[in-house]
Structure 1
């Protein structure tokens, strides 16, 4: 696989806290890369730097061989990088279909709050995408009436509507009930792999990481403390001690 995103020497500090202290990371095209680590380790900061919401004090980031530091978030989206947030960014007064139609239109530079809702081609593409996410039954439901799992899927459907090559997701399962968590991630994985979207996701649920990640990067004090397959990383005693919090007898056995 070829390298799609490359970060070199990223540094940024907030007061005395080093959120990135020389981060080097390559993301390979087509992979699902999980980022794990304790709170405050700099995981979301990395996503914010990659998507233009923060500018590092040192280092560089390239996407498909092109430098992207200093570009606006909207320009970065136009190059093929999308993101979802820990708290879904939905228009709560609009339905699921309307939210996705607005995202489809924004991809083409249409920012009017009404035009996308009146043009059939935006609505048609939105319906198709909603069906792929298994949300057709609630397409007409207002966003503020959705449960957390549906809100997460709708938010990521809006990101996929931008037709990204790379999608960065900040805790896609946070707030989702345990009983529905795996179904949400299975849907995300299926849609993203079918669309050939490379994914980087911050996650705290090690079962999700073990089942869906191709590689795992462990963040610690602004550095990458470990990087490798789930089978190797999740069985590392230091990762178990500092991230997972326990060291079970026989280690952690990541699902295939």
Structure 2
């Protein structure tokens, strides 16, 4: 992992008086799995939105494979090889899982019609292959609105993989997923992405997931990167334990019943 696939330099973005990005410098190395952690409002999703063209920084630039991509549209960025999944899965709920992935395959080829991908066997065959890799073949014919949250998350990421990215950014891939399913879901998506040689950046609140699957961890705090390094080193930092891990654990602890 000696070569930077993505390089963010001096990113600044403010919403009113809130600094969502306050001088972000970050290299994402080719082939790595980089976890982004931090309290709510720290600027984690803002970074993903800037990288994928949904927001434009007020200052600084983002380069992908040495090419400046700052200010490009989301569609143009996808064509360069960057895809994303969302905290809330972006599925066509009235379509089956296979149809959703077939639509993503067709969009990669520049076809945006809602009907053509559903009629061409080639797109559906590729969709079936992708679903098989994700272990979703059994629900290929299930409508998206009938899926549980874990299956929706995997289907959303399968759609992103259908775009054949070299870099995938995932915003909280385990949020809303039952605790008993989290590790298996992340194990599946990490296996698929590594097999496809896809570099991944993922925002995550579950420290067990981060510790097990991340190659490096970047800690966001008030629009800045407060720490960056291997999971064992970063998660052992007292400041990270107090300001990030402590916050998340407190947020996950149910309130005691009132006397």
TM-score range, shorter chain: over 0.9
Query: Could you say which residue in structure 2 is the equivalent of 1:254?
Result: none
Query: Could you say which residue in structure 2 is the equivalent of 1:211?
Result: 212
- Are 2:134 and 1:124 aligned? no
- Are 2:69 and 1:100 aligned? no
Shift of 1:49: 0.2
Query: Could you say which residue in structure 2 is the equivalent of 1:64?
Result: 65
**Paired residue total:** 247
Once residues 64 and 141 of structure 1 are traced to their aligned partners in structure 2, the CA distance between those partners, rounded to angstroms, is 38
Once residues 140 and 218 of structure 2 are traced to their aligned partners in structure 1, the CA distance between those partners, rounded to angstroms, is 36
Shift of 1:70: 1.2
Once residues 123 and 12 of structure 1 are traced to their aligned partners in structure 2, the CA distance between those partners, rounded to angstroms, is 41
Query: Could you say which residue in structure 2 is the equivalent of 1:228?
Result: 229
Query: Could you say which residue in structure 2 is the equivalent of 1:74?
Result: 75
Once residues 177 and 166 of structure 2 are traced to their aligned partners in structure 1, the CA distance between those partners, rounded to angstroms, is 26
Query: Could you say which residue in structure 2 is the equivalent of 1:241?
Result: 242
Q: CA RMSD in A?
A: 0.9
Structure 1: tracts of 5 or more residues without a match: 249-256
Provide the secondary structure at the position in 1 that maps to 2:71.
Answer: coil
Once residues 29 and 141 of structure 1 are traced to their aligned partners in structure 2, the CA distance between those partners, rounded to angstroms, is 35
Per-residue Cα deviation, 1:135-186 (whole angstroms, up to 9, x for no partner)? 0000000000000000000000000000000000000000000000101000
Runs of 4+ in 1 over 6 A off after TM superposition: none
TM-score normalised to structure 1 length = 0.96
Per-residue Cα deviation, 1:63-122 (whole angstroms, up to 9, x for no partner)? 000000111000000000000000000000000000000000000000000000000100
Once residues 146 and 121 of structure 2 are traced to their aligned partners in structure 1, the CA distance between those partners, rounded to angstroms, is 25
